[in-house]
Amino acid sequence: MDRTVVLITGCSSGIGLHLALRLASDPSQSFKVYATMRDLKAQGPLWEAAQARRCPSGSLEILQLDVRDSDSVAAARARVTEGRVDVLVCNAGRGLVGPLEAHVTGAMSSVLDVNVAGTVRTLQAFLPDMKQRRSGRVLVTGSMGGLMGEWPRAGPGARKRQSLRQGSSTCSQLCRRSMWRKQKRAKPRETSGVLLQPSRVSAPGHASTTSSRLQGLPFNAVYCASKFALEGLCESLAVLLPSFGVHVSLIECGPVHTAFQEKLEGGLGGALDSADTKTRDHFFCYQRHCERVFREAAQDPEEVTEVFLKALRAPQPALRYFSTEHFLPLVRLRFDDPSGCSYVAAMRRAVFEDKSAERPDGAAAKPGAADLGGCELSAPAAAQQ
């Protein structure tokens, strides 16, 4: 029986490395994994881990692939000896954290080039063959938008959160049915956009059928912009590609214990000296918030890779899979209050009203209620819950 050929970008560390190992060492021995990375000098840890796991001979091959370079992507594709890729995992990514005005242009351009344009280049290289063969899976590493605080699991909002997990059809399926039925029953004509309501949000590792967007986080503006772009990219493809037997899924991850923070473009915070004192104080509060969230909610990469496997093996894959349920209540906030006021207020309370936050130099950073501002519209009752 032919093995499933999987190509993964960004395998030098983190989720990509662990996913390559998980598939190559799978007891079924049904996967041939091409683990790719920008710099082959970083392949040592992957080979060492593969030997430790006793991956079967021929189950893993490492290729050079730089998503910023179309020629590099094409060269990696040409080295796939099977002549096809059954599952493409777009995982390569870069982070950028700090005040927007502290980022140099080169750092911002690099993040957008890798996270957005790099994903597009990779898809452009592999999608045509999948469409021609009328078979293929695409998994894209998404994000919950950054690091968020723990939210209550019980209380007045619990019933609403449970109701989000009930339902069946996905928004992409509804959109496809609406579009293709119109195509069959009526002559082509201009139509307005279709407004779709979310049907449910799943428990960790299960399909999410909500059309949620990522949550914007303070000091992650450019990174979140890149992840928002991937949401739109994948939603668009999810409507079209099933006609060709190809399915796209986003794996929405929260904080994960990897070296991602150590590889931030431009370092943590960027050039903080260019930011004003109040912005720097807010950034120090945010740092403390992130440290707390990582202690309380960060996942191990192995746990996240199992979510990738669920999406890969699903007979009818969904558009979104969430690796954790910690942050799903924030998704609901965005629909309870389309104005965005509830989400903004909730995030400001979670990040900046931590009275224990201190700056690295030991000085207290305690922005008061007057400093935090507010929205002209009142938050609905659901937000207060």
Tokens 């881990």 belong to: 49
- pLDDT for 175 equals 57
Least Cα distance to 94 among 7, 205, 8, 14 occurs for: 14
Which sign does the torsion angle of CA 226, 232, 235, 236 carry?
A: negative
Alpha-carbon dihedral angle through residues 225, 111, 136, 331, given to the nearest 10 degrees: -30
Average pLDDT, the chain: 76
Q: Please say whether the beta carbons of 342 and 333 come within 8 A.
A: yes
Tokens 């309380």 belong to: 296
Helix (H) or strand (E) holding 117: none
User: Tens-digit pLDDT profile for the chain (385 aa)?
Assistant: 689 999 999 999 999 999 999 999 999 999 999 999 999 999 999 999 999 999 999 999 999 999 999 999 999 999 999 999 999 999 999 988 889 988 889 999 999 999 999 999 999 999 999 999 999 999 999 886 532 322 333 333 434 433 333 333 345 565 556 555 554 444 433 323 222 233 333 444 544 433 333 345 788 899 989 999 999 999 999 999 999 999 999 998 877 776 655 556 555 655 677 788 888 888 888 888 777 877 777 778 888 999 999 999 999 999 999 887 776 777 677 677 878 788 788 877 877 775 444 444 545 444 333 333 333 333 333 333 3
Which sign does the torsion angle of CA 341, 230, 168, 309 carry?
A: negative
How many of the other CB atoms lie within 10 Å of CB of 356?
A: 10
Pairing type for strands 207-208 and 320-322 reads antiparallel
d(CA 278, CA 275): 8
Q: Which of 223, 286, 321, 343 is catalytic?
A: 223
Residues 6+ apart with CB under 8 A from 46: 11, 12, 17, 20, 21, 35, 37, 62
pTM for the predicted model, two decimal places? 0.75
In the residue annotation, 223 being an active-site residue is answered as yes
